[in-house]
A and B are shown apart, each in its own frame.
Chain A
């Protein structure tokens, strides 16, 4: 039972435009959400996170939005760069020290120069 879902396996975006990656979750107990980027043959690299007490968190070109009522979060990358091409995973956890992350299946982003 996939508690975190990324329904788009792939996304292609022109360089300089906005990339929007989406993620849905089913477990209402999740209260901390993270985005990771993964290149082939490497482990996931942490990008940005958000706590359920917030609805937006920004870090440079990356912004994560959280809509708790819809159990939906999204990652915006503006402007997109070719180096952003990778697989992006969203993950969620129940917090309070729990270190078991529930991952989505990933979205492969391709930024076209």
Chain B
């Protein structure tokens, strides 16, 4: 089975711009979660989508948004970029459903905001 894929792998933007990141989960997985990894804060949960609906949300401002398509692929959007948004953005997929499932991570998108 192919793993979680994320595109693009690297991105450079300037302050004030917006960016869209893409994540394709493992085939058959219906849950996609997004995390931000920074040196100071570690990995922090952004949000989770399951069956095209946001099921959980972390403590991030409204500039961070996402969506999920019917094929379970997910996109994350950050508007009005700030320097502090520079980070590694990771998505993780799991089967979803009612039980706790192990999440499998993609390689991440490295976003640099200048």
Residues of A that sit less than 8 Å from B by CB: 2, 32, 34, 36, 41-46, 49, 51, 89, 91, 93, 95-106
Shortest CB–CB separation between residue A23 and chain B, in angstroms?
12
- Which secondary structure dominates chain B's binding surface? strand
Q: Which residues of B contact A105 (CB under 8 A)?
A: 42
Are A43 and B42 in contact (CB-based, < 8 A)? Answer: no
From B12-20, B64-72, B79-87, B100-108, give the one contacting chain A. Answer: B100-108
Q: Which residues of B contact A2 (CB under 8 A)?
A: 42
Are B45 and A102 in contact (CB-based, < 8 A)? Answer: yes
Contact with A along B73-114 (1 / 0, CB 8 A): 000000000000000001010101111111111111000000
6 A-B contacts (beta carbon < 8 Å): A2-B42, A43-B92, A49-B102, A89-B42, A101-B45, A105-B42
Are A100 and B33 in contact (CB-based, < 8 A)? Answer: yes
Shortest CB–CB separation between residue A39 and chain B, in angstroms?
10
Q: Of B99, B101, B103, which is in contact with the most chain A CB atoms at under 10 Å from its CB?
A: B103
Shortest CB–CB separation between residue A10 and chain B, in angstroms?
14
Q: Which residues of B contact A106 (CB under 8 A)?
A: 42
Q: Which residues of A contact B104 (CB under 8 A)?
A: 46
CA distance A98 to B55 in the complex (A): 8
Shortest CB–CB separation between residue A1 and chain B, in angstroms?
10
